Structure 1
Amino acid sequence: MTTRHYDVVVLGTGPAGEGAAMNAAKAGKRVAVIEASPRVGGSCTHLGTIPSKALRHAVKEIIAFNTNPMFRDIGEPRWFSFPKVLDRANRVIDQQVLGRTEYYARNRIDVYFGRGRFKDAHTIEVNTYEKGPEELVADKVVIATGSRPYHPANIDFTHPRIYCSDSILTLSHTPRSLIIYGAGVIGCEYASIFCGLGVRVELINPGKKLLSFLDDEITDALSYHLRDGGILIRHNETFEKVEGSDRDVTVTMASGKKLRADALLFCNGRSGNTEKLGLENIGLETNSRGQLAVNDTYQTAVENVYAAGDVIGWPSLASAAYDQGRSVAANMLGLEGGHFISEVPTGIYTIPEISSIGKTESELTAEKVPYEVGRAFFKNTARAQITGEAVGMLKLLFHRETLEILGIHCFGDQASEIVHIGQAIMKQPGELNSLKYFLNTTFNYPTMAEAYRVAALNGFNRVF
C-alpha cells in the first residue's frame, strides 16, 4: 500500500469540499480530495441542485410555449416526457463535471476516486476504484461528504414505483399521478416540475403550512399558485404505511386516508453521509441524522478535523456550503476570510421561484421592532409585462425611524437574482443600509431591478 503525505485532505468534492480544497491550494498547500463517486461534483452536481434546477428551467420553458398565444403560429401545445427534459439536465451535469475536473487539475490537487476511511485522526485509507488501497497522511482533514435522502426503515425504496429525490432522476417514464411526501424545499420544487409536465400531484405536508421559515405572505402566495396549477396540498398529514404494487402505490395516512397514485416521491429530510467514514476510530460521534457538530470555525471535537456543508446540517444549501468550505480552509490555515456563515439568502426554485434574506414580518413583530412594508407587484412593472412573467412581487421590510432595510422577500420570475441587489445594500455599514438608496438611485428602465424603487416609494409613502 502506497502512503502519501498532504497538508490537507478533503473528503468529498461537492461545494463545501471544492471550496476548502481550492482555498487551501491557493495558499500553496499540498491538497488531495477523495470522492466516493466516479466523477467530481458531489450530490449537488449529480443528484440535487444542478439536475433539479435544470429540470425546472426546461419545464418552465415548456409552460411558456404551451401558454403563450404567440406560439400558436408555430404549432399547438406540446406534451414532453420526464425523460425528455432529463436529457437537458444530464447535458448540464456533464458541463459542470468537465469544468470542476479542470479546476482540480489547474490547481494541482490530487483526486482519489474511492471511499475514504479514517484509521486515525491523521491517516485515511482510500480504496480507490483503479489502483486499490492507498494511505493518505494529512496535517488537516476536512469532512465534506454531504448528505443523502432520509429513508425510513418501513418504506421499501427498492420498489420500482417508490422514489427518493436521488432515485427520481432514474425515472424512465412520466407517471400520470404522483404523491410527494414532504413539502420542504425539495418537495415543493418537484411538485412544480411534475405539475408543469401535466402530472396530477398530491403534496403531503406533515406540518401546518408550506415552508414555514418564509415570510407568511410569500408562503401564502406559493400555496395559492401551486394550487392554481392543479396541485392538491394536504397539511398536517403523516404516513402510517406505504404499499407498492404492480399498478400503483398506496399511502395510508395516520388520519385514516388512503391515497393512491402511479408513483411516490418521498422527500422528507436528509441524512449526513458519515456512516462509513470510520469516525469511531477518531472518537467522533454524529447525531441521529448522521450530522457532525462543529464550533464557529467549523472545527469538530477532533483538533485537526473540520467539517462543512450538508454533513453539519443547517442551512444545507450549495451556496452556503461553498462559503463554509472556503472559511474552513481559512480558519485551519490561519488565512484571512475565515468566518461563520450565518447570513444566507434562501433560493427556492419552485415555479414561480422564491428568494429572501433577513427578517420576516412575524420575526420583527415578535421582536417588537417598529417596521414598515414596501411592495412592488410585478404585474405593474414594464419588464414583467414585456416578458409575460407578471406573477409575483418584491417586498421590503424596513425600520420606520432609521429606514434600515431589515428583510427582503421576493416571489416571482428571477427572484433568486433580484434579491442580491437588496442583499448588497443590507451589508453596508450604518446609514448606508437605508431605504433612501433605492429612492435616490436611478435604475435602468425597463428592468426587474426597478421593482426596488417602486417598493421603496410604496414603503416611504406609508411613513411620510
Structure 2
Amino acid sequence: MDYYDVCIIGGGPAGYAAAMRAIDYGKKVVLIEKNKLGGAGLYDGALTSKTMWEFSQNVLTTRKQIDSSNLRLDVQWSDFIKTVNEAIFERSFQLSCHLKILQEEEKNHLFKMERGTAKLLDKNTVEITKNEKSKNIKSDYIVLATGSIPRKLPNIEIDEKVILSSDGIGHIKDFPKSMVILGAGVIGCEYATIFANIGKTKVYIIDKQDRILPFEDKDISKLISENFEKKDIVIHEESQLTRMEIINGQVEYELTDKNGNTSIHHVEKALISVGRIPNTRGLGLEK
C-alpha cells in the first residue's frame, strides 16, 4: 500500500492549487481525479459562462451600433460555441503544461497523479477505483476538493437536451427561439442576460420571490430588473412552478401566481438554475 503526506480528491482549481502548495512544502502528494483535470469551473462552469457573457456583450454592442443602419447581425451558434471552446482549450492546455511540471516531481517521489474514483474507507484510507479495479492508499491528511454540481429537483427530469442544467447549456445545437429559466439567482440571471444579448431567444424567468437576486441589495435587484425589461426579458414574479414536462419535443410548464391563478406556457428549452450542491456523492462521507 502506498503512503502519502497529503491525498487530494478532485483535480479542479482548488485541488490543483492544494497539490502545488503541498509540494512547495516538501510533502508527498497524490492527486485523484476521475474526469478531466480542471473540473467543472473549466469545462461546464465559470469559464464557459463568463466567455459566453463576454461574447454576448460584444454582440449587444455591435447590434446597437448597426441598428440605425437597418442592418441585422446574424450570430451563428457554431461561432458562439467555438469562442467558448477556444477559451477552454487555452486554459486546459495551460493546465496540462503545469501538470507536466508537477509530474517531474515524481522523480523526487513528491507527486503522483491517479485517475479514478475515490472513496473514503476511514480518516486515513482512500480506495481508488478505475476500470473495475481498486487499490487502497494511506495518507496523513485528506483534502476534499470535489467541487459542486447543479442542484436538481425531484419533480423535473433533466435530459440535457430540452430541459437543461448549466452543465448541458453548452451542448445544445442552436440558439432556441424561446427559453424559460427556473431560478432568478446569479447563474439564472447570467444566462438570461447572455441569451437576451444575442437577440435570437425570447427569455422567461420563473422567480418565486418578490424580486430577482434576493441575496443582493434591493437597489441592485431593481437595477437588474430594469435592465431585463429593456432586454425584453419576461419575469414571472412571485410564481410557483407546479409542473414542467417535455411534450412533443418542447417544454410545457404551469405556473401559479401569488393570487392563485394558473397559467400554462410553452418554450423550446428550459434551464434549471436552482443553485449548486457539494459534489460528495459516492465519497463515503456518510460513514
TM-score over 0.5 (shorter chain): yes
Q: Is the 8 A contact 1:21 1:31 kept in 2?
A: yes
Measured against aligned partners, the alpha-carbon deviations of 1:136-184 in whole angstroms (never above 9, x if no partner) come to 2111001111111111121111273111111112111211000001011
Shift of residue 70, structure 1, vs aligned partner: 10
User: More strand by proportion, 1 or 2?
Assistant: 2
Q: How far, CA to CA, are the matches of 1:15 and 1:152 in structure 2?
A: 27
Q: Structure 2: which 5+ residue stretches go unaligned?
A: 106-110
* 1:111 matched to 2:113: yes
Q: Is the 8 A contact 2:66 2:72 kept in 1?
A: no
Q: How far, CA to CA, are the matches of 1:237 and 1:21 in structure 2?
A: 46
Shift of residue 113, structure 1, vs aligned partner: 2.0
Q: How far, CA to CA, are the matches of 2:211 and 2:271 in structure 1?
A: 19
Residue in structure 2 matching 1:124, options 123, 126, 129? 126
Measured against aligned partners, the alpha-carbon deviations of 1:331-357 in whole angstroms (never above 9, x if no partner) come to xxxxxxxxxxxxxxxxxxxxxxxxxxx
**Alignment of structure 1 residues 250-269 onto 2, 5 Å:** 250-255=252-257, 256-269=262-275
Q: How far, CA to CA, are the matches of 1:259 and 1:149 in structure 2?
A: 24
**2:37 alignment partner in structure 1:** 40
**1:87 alignment partner in structure 2:** 82
Q: How far, CA to CA, are the matches of 1:97 and 1:136 in structure 2?
A: 28
Measured against aligned partners, the alpha-carbon deviations of 1:401-439 in whole angstroms (never above 9, x if no partner) come to xxxxxxxxxxxxxxxxxxxxxxxxxxxxxxxxxxxxxxx
Shift of residue 51, structure 1, vs aligned partner: 0.5
Q: How far, CA to CA, are the matches of 1:246 and 1:71 in structure 2?
A: 40
**Alignment of structure 1 residues 46-195 onto 2, 5 Å:** 46-69=43-66, 76-107=71-102, 108=105, 109-128=111-130, 132-158=133-159, 160-195=161-196
**1:27 alignment partner in structure 2:** 25
After superposition, the CA RMSD in angstroms is 2.1
Report the residue type matching 2:174 in the other structure: H
Shift of residue 41, structure 1, vs aligned partner: 0.7
Q: How far, CA to CA, are the matches of 1:101 and 1:128 in structure 2?
A: 21
Q: Is the 8 A contact 2:161 2:168 kept in 1?
A: no
Using a 3 Å threshold, how does the CA distance of structure 1 residues 4 and 71 change in structure 2: closer, same or farther? farther
* TM-score for the superposition, normalised by structure 1: 0.56
* TM-score for the superposition, normalised by structure 2: 0.89
Report the residue type matching 1:213 in the other structure: F
**Alignment of structure 1 residues 51-450 onto 2, 5 Å:** 51-69=48-66, 76-107=71-102, 108=105, 109-128=111-130, 132-158=133-159, 160-198=161-199, 199-255=201-257, 256-280=262-286, 283=287
Q: Secondary structure at the match of 2:84?
A: helix
Q: Is the 8 A contact 1:65 1:71 kept in 2?
A: no
Q: Secondary structure at the match of 1:68?
A: helix
Shift of residue 87, structure 1, vs aligned partner: 1.5
Using a 3 Å threshold, how does the CA distance of structure 1 residues 110 and 76 change in structure 2: closer, same or farther? farther
**1:286 alignment partner in structure 2:** none
Report the residue type matching 1:134 in the other structure: K
Q: How far, CA to CA, are the matches of 2:153 and 2:66 in structure 1?
A: 46
Larger radius of gyration: 1
